Structure 1
Amino acid sequence: MREDQRETAEDPRRRIPRTDRLLALPEVERARAALGEHVVRGVVRAVQDRARGGHIAPEDVPAEVLRALGDRPSASLRPVLNATGVIVHTNLGRAPLSEPARQALLEAAGYTDVEFDLAQGTRSRRGAGVRTALLGACPDAEDALVVNNGAAALALTTTALAAGPERDEVIVSRGELIEIGAGFRLPDLITSTGSTLREVGTTNRTHATDYTDAIGPATACVLRIHTSNYRISGFTSAVPIAELAPICRDAGIPLIADLGSGLLTPEALLPDEPDIATALRDGADLVIASGDKLLGGPQAGILLGRADVIARLARHPLARAVRADKLALAALEATLAGPTAPVLEALRTDPEALRERTARLAERVDGRLVPHDGRVGGGGGAEVPLPGWAVALEPELATPLRTGDPAVVPTVREGECLLDLRCVPEADDDSLVEAVRAARDTLAGREERPTR
């Protein structure tokens, strides 16, 4: 045998299974049906490359392909246990859906009658079910409209009401021109629609005369924005909706209230948080709220108010671009018609019951019971502490907890890793215990690994 033939015959890379043979494995064929051809082929190539690089033996390629496909989720988003104590955590997806809302998502995943009248066999109004549910929950509203998020609701409102050639001014108090997460500024959103922003008052004080003096022929609407994620205290004043409504009514212009948080009715634990029912009762012509905050539903922008104002928004071409999809409509309707949403359950958690539960878990994971205030989050209940408790662990556990399975997101503060159970379903306590034990095992393995 020639030397080059001997080298080829002895090259272990020749023993790497071919792609077509790997794709023909029954388990791989089933994965192709679930994940798609390009995804499965990508996994196969990646494992073959590891074998070519000498990282695994050629004989291990089939098993590694099956393991990689078995561990691969259908999407890159990972479920997490929210142990931060922040209820509406924007970085963790805001509101967790109720069981009825989750079931509604599954039922709406296929074909649905979202715009079809089954009895008549004709096209029907989109989102009729969620509209009925909203009007049932907010009887002070004449009509309702749902779009894909709160920013879209505000953009549609200012575009439809204040982007005309004659009336294009939106009057807003200077103290309400806020910036929210990721550098997103509401004034930039409003002016991007072609509207002209007319600021009144000062940062800390705005009076009724500021509005009356500013209203003129170019005024399209007055906008009240809940400042949500910050407070101005001390020498301050603002004009309540009940006082501003008659001013707008006399001028013949609509009063818009952007509340943000989606609280349907007053909440005793958040006395300063505006709610939809009160805003409508006090005379707001249109109320804007988010579905995925204190309402506890999916991401959605909710518009409630006068029938003529809602109709004007619904007729605008932009309404088509920002409309909610069938999944959001289904989950929102189920949230409104179902039991108390998880966000409100977390908000109303009994501190003593939380203490007892946290103490039991602290004992199981060899941690310490410490006081810990939760938060509403998502721009709601600014600076309002929610008294509670947490399990204090060694800070080194934070990273392996976040990267473990299940992924657990704690708070690291003052040299401690804190697990707040307020937003962790009690049914997941055993999983949380196992996650802590696995994190400690991971740390122990790193410490035992020899260093070069």
Structure 2
Amino acid sequence: MRARTSRPVATPALLDPPRTAAARPPGERNQDPLPCGPPAAGDTPRHVINATSVLVHPGLGRAVLSGSARRAVAVASGCTDLEYDLHNGQRGRRGRETVAALLAAVPTAAAAYVVNSNPAALVLAATVLAPGRELVISRRELYEIRDGFRLPELLTSTGARLCPVGTADGAVLEDYRQAVWSGTGCVLTLVPGRSATDAPADRPDVAALAGLHVPVIADISSGLLRPEPALPGEPDAETALRQGATLVTAGGDKLLGGPQTGLLLGDRAVIEQVRRHPLARAMQADKLALAALRATVAHGGTPTLAAVRAAPDDLRARGESLVGALRAGGVPAELVESHVTVLSGASTRLHSFAVAVDQRLAGRLRVGDPAVVGELRDGHLLLDLRPVPAGNDTDLVVAVLAAASRP
């Protein structure tokens, strides 16, 4: 396609999207508000068992690190070869082992870079590809999430000029085509759109957008590096790059199962621009995150993927065992079918089982040791088993019995 040299008349006016109320993750529905005021002296982060209906819960620290990642963090807590080459005694490239692990996991990527969060990765991508130029994005994808965070404000902070296309229901390929001209810096697509599950069937994929001959940023957020058979509807970095994305941005602490990090994968020249940009220094990942991410990518076997892949029959068997143990301890309990949302908002739902107990135990469990967070529904507290690692079943039973024994 030949680039236009003037602004297309057919492009819709740049409208500020309406502010919408932030959706509350399903696992937090109907629960008492968190206590206000400063924490008590000596408070530290509390160990929490996530028994909600959200597998990767944003309020509970998202992904649970694997054993290999935790061991890597322990090693990295001391002095490490973070930016030092032990072979020649010279300064080395920061995070080189982590980048190497990512490139081995995503062969289609020519280069990779790691920053401290997915929003940071998106900011750097837009800053490099669309400074003072237009960034084309579907109106449907200009969303707002928790705590008033608004994607339009993040993107315009980079110096890019937003060019929203389509309507609140979505955009089709022709909307993007009419918007692209010589003043376009890039197209940004959130794969899939997070604002709803009923996106139009003709929503253009990355391959179609790449055919417009402008750089395409595909933000997959979920962090899957390769297709996951248990999650056929979730996007992954390898597929987006094969379809022609210039850059893929993603979070490391969701379905990838690692620490909070932002991943940039794709074109070597663009990644090098990102790496050399002054903002990259302010957004660099720390040594603990780099170590945990490398171990996560290199060794796999994360608790998150184990939960995703858990067979419903196994969850039922675990639930029956837990119900039996609770009843033996004098606590009424029953096993009920449930569904777990993989990520908060619009995301894949997986069949699961939950243990239903007296709803009056909710507050006691939240302040117990370990703390347990479930979901109040239909007069019961549901403790969903898919997010709970099987190794924590005994801890869960002990916590419920202890909560039931307190007045």
Q: Going by fraction, where is helix more abundant, 1 or 2?
A: 1
8 A contact 1:85–1:373 mirrored in 2 = yes
CA distance in 2, matches of 1:232, 1:389: 23
Q: Are 2:239 and 1:278 aligned?
A: yes
Measured against aligned partners, the alpha-carbon deviations of 1:57-81 in whole angstroms (never above 9, x if no partner) come to: xxxxxxxxxxxxxx986x6210111
Measured against aligned partners, the alpha-carbon deviations of 1:234-272 in whole angstroms (never above 9, x if no partner) come to: 755311111111212xxxx31111111011122233322
Question: Which residue in the other structure is 2:382 paired with?
Answer: 418
CA distance in 2, matches of 1:94, 1:142: 29
Assess, with a 3 A threshold, how the Cα gap between structure 1 residues 318 and 202 changes in structure 2: closer, same or farther. same
Moved over 3 A (4+): 227-230
8 A contact 1:296–1:344 mirrored in 2 = yes
Assess, with a 3 A threshold, how the Cα gap between structure 1 residues 173 and 85 changes in structure 2: closer, same or farther. closer
| Mapping for residues 186-335 of structure 1, pairs under 5 Å | 186-231=151-196, 233=198, 237-248=202-213, 253-335=214-296
CA distance in 1, matches of 2:240, 2:55: 24
In structure 2, list runs of 5 or more residues that go unmatched: 1-39, 328-332
8 A contact 1:180–1:229 mirrored in 2 = no
| Mapping for residues 60-71 of structure 1, pairs under 5 Å | none
Q: Are 2:357 and 1:377 aligned?
A: no
Assess, with a 3 A threshold, how the Cα gap between structure 1 residues 83 and 205 changes in structure 2: closer, same or farther. closer
CA distance in 1, matches of 2:227, 2:180: 31
8 A contact 1:245–1:283 mirrored in 2 = yes
| 205-214 vs 361-370, which moves further | 205-214
Assess, with a 3 A threshold, how the Cα gap between structure 1 residues 235 and 308 changes in structure 2: closer, same or farther. closer
CA distance in 2, matches of 1:349, 1:233: 26
Question: Which residue in the other structure is 2:301 paired with?
Answer: 340
Assess, with a 3 A threshold, how the Cα gap between structure 1 residues 181 and 72 changes in structure 2: closer, same or farther. closer
Partner SS, residue 341 of structure 2: coil
Structure 1 residue 215, shift from structure 2 partner: 1.6
Q: Are 2:362 and 1:398 aligned?
A: yes
8 A contact 2:129–2:186 mirrored in 1 = yes
Question: Which residue in the other structure is 1:107 paired with?
Answer: 75
| Mapping for residues 24-173 of structure 1, pairs under 5 Å | 76-164=44-132, 168-173=133-138
Structure 1 residue 212, shift from structure 2 partner: 2.4
Question: Highest Rg: 1 or 2?
Answer: 1
Q: Are 2:402 and 1:438 aligned?
A: yes
Assess, with a 3 A threshold, how the Cα gap between structure 1 residues 315 and 234 changes in structure 2: closer, same or farther. closer
Structure 1 residue 193, shift from structure 2 partner: 1.6
For residue 166 of structure 2, what is the amino acid of its counterpart? G
In structure 1, list runs of 5 or more residues that go unmatched: 1-70, 444-452
CA distance in 1, matches of 2:374, 2:299: 30
Assess, with a 3 A threshold, how the Cα gap between structure 1 residues 234 and 101 changes in structure 2: closer, same or farther. closer
- Supply the RMSD in Å over aligned alpha carbons: 1.8
Partner SS, residue 386 of structure 1: strand
Partner SS, residue 292 of structure 1: coil
CA distance in 1, matches of 2:398, 2:370: 9
CA distance in 1, matches of 2:348, 2:216: 28
For residue 294 of structure 1, what is the amino acid of its counterpart? L
CA distance in 2, matches of 1:141, 1:100: 25
Give the number of aligned pairs.
Answer: 363
Question: Which residue in the other structure is 1:368 paired with?
Answer: 334
For residue 175 of structure 1, what is the amino acid of its counterpart? R
Measured against aligned partners, the alpha-carbon deviations of 1:271-299 in whole angstroms (never above 9, x if no partner) come to: 22211111000000100000000011000
Assess, with a 3 A threshold, how the Cα gap between structure 1 residues 290 and 235 changes in structure 2: closer, same or farther. closer
Assess, with a 3 A threshold, how the Cα gap between structure 1 residues 228 and 211 changes in structure 2: closer, same or farther. closer
Assess, with a 3 A threshold, how the Cα gap between structure 1 residues 297 and 143 changes in structure 2: closer, same or farther. same
Question: Which residue in the other structure is 2:31 paired with?
Answer: none
Structure 1 residue 334, shift from structure 2 partner: 0.1
CA distance in 1, matches of 2:301, 2:295: 11
Question: Which residue in the other structure is 2:29 paired with?
Answer: none
8 A contact 1:141–1:305 mirrored in 2 = yes
CA distance in 1, matches of 2:199, 2:240: 24
CA distance in 2, matches of 1:193, 1:234: 28
Q: Going by fraction, where is strand more abundant, 1 or 2?
A: 2
CA distance in 2, matches of 1:181, 1:229: 13
8 A contact 2:193–2:199 mirrored in 1 = no
